Amino acid sequence: MHTFLPVAYFKNEFVPFADANLSIATHALHYGTGAFGGLRGIPDPQHPGHALLFRLDRHAQRLSDSARFLQYDLPASKIAATIVEFVQKNQPGTSFYIRPFVYTSDLGIAPRLHNVEKDFFIYGLELGDYLSPEGVACRISSWYRQEDRSLPLRGKISGAYITSSMAKTEAVSAGFDEAILMNTQGKVCEASGMNIFMVRQGKLITPGFDQDILEGITRDSVLTVAQDLGIPVIERAIDKTELLIADEVFLSGTAAKVTPVRRIENYELSSDRPITTLLRDKLTAITEGRDPQYESWITRVAIA
């Protein structure tokens, strides 16, 4: 059971979470014409009475960009300011996750984006580890990631996540923790809701934007930190067989953070993961406000 934060932002006001309800005729519910964001926050371990948000500006900008695909003009500045106020209203006392969502709020039945009302809401929940920090077992999914020519993959469009949902359930039903999706060219793409990295011969390798991946913010953070640490970084297409013989493989995402992969199909990967561990520890220090080099990535919010 999830423990939801008590206050939501709904229809331009802050209301009790239990009162933030949609009609069953809501346009976005029927056509997947919504887009969401997700960012983590924690109580500041060094400054009681404050919360820390990770890369709020990037998350707000990505949601604003996603809204543009829905023909909805929602400035990133408004998203960011509303999220800060949302955190202040809720005063979270433990690690939490924020879900902002833009959607077609009309009650019409025509699948369209013009002449349809749009809206924006936010809710949150307490959230610890989404995946096991000890490592996960992954299945190569029978489902393929969509192509950018058929879906706007640079936005987190809600309707696109039917593929992720089917891939995740297929994997779990077969005894795995997570799915790895290929793209339509047969190259490694991403997990059900995470980007993927591998390490070979000391180099950090990940699919580039031309591989129909989501432009992940945690992914960007990992790449930036790796380059700053002097780890060679390569963005290119990856074959399935490369994953099976990689020195290290890990997933990255807001919920997953940096999660090592211990097995892919029936191929066991090494438990010695020096680069994965280094990057995970570095990201943890950054998100906890303990690394002054990346202070600009952290937004401190007074909650008491």
Q: Identify the CATH number of the domain in which residue 156 sits.
A: 3.20.10.10
**Does 296 reside within a domain?**
no
Instruction: Tell me, yes or no, whether 13 and 121 share the same domain.
Output: yes
- Host domain of residue 69: 7-126
Q: Identify the CATH number of the domain in which residue 78 sits.
A: 3.30.470.10
Q: In the prediction, which pLDDT does 132 show? A: 84
Task: Report how many domains make up the chain.
Answer: 2
**Does 286 reside within a domain?**
no
Instruction: Tell me, yes or no, whether 141 and 121 share the same domain.
Output: no
Instruction: Tell me, yes or no, whether 163 and 121 share the same domain.
Output: no
**Does 188 reside within a domain?**
yes
Instruction: Tell me, yes or no, whether 262 and 143 share the same domain.
Output: yes
Instruction: Tell me, yes or no, whether 98 and 216 share the same domain.
Output: no
Instruction: Tell me, yes or no, whether 26 and 86 share the same domain.
Output: yes
Instruction: Tell me, yes or no, whether 141 and 220 share the same domain.
Output: yes
From the CB of residue 75, how many other CB atoms can be counted at a distance below 10 Å? 12
Task: State which of 126, 161, 180 marks the end of a domain.
Answer: 126
**Does 27 reside within a domain?**
yes
Q: In the prediction, which pLDDT does 1 show? A: 78
Residuewise pLDDT in 10s, the chain (304 residues): 789 999 999 999 999 999 999 999 999 999 999 999 999 999 999 899 999 999 999 999 999 999 999 999 999 999 999 999 999 999 999 999 999 999 999 998 999 999 999 999 999 999 988 888 889 999 999 999 999 999 999 999 999 999 999 999 999 999 999 999 999 999 999 999 999 999 999 999 999 999 999 999 999 999 999 999 999 999 999 999 999 999 999 999 998 799 999 999 999 999 999 999 999 999 999 999 999 999 999 999 999 8
**Does 186 reside within a domain?**
yes
Q: In the prediction, which pLDDT does 255 show? A: 82
Read off the pTM.
0.95
Please tell me the distance from the alpha carbon of residue 84 to that of residue 88, in angstroms, as a whole number: 6
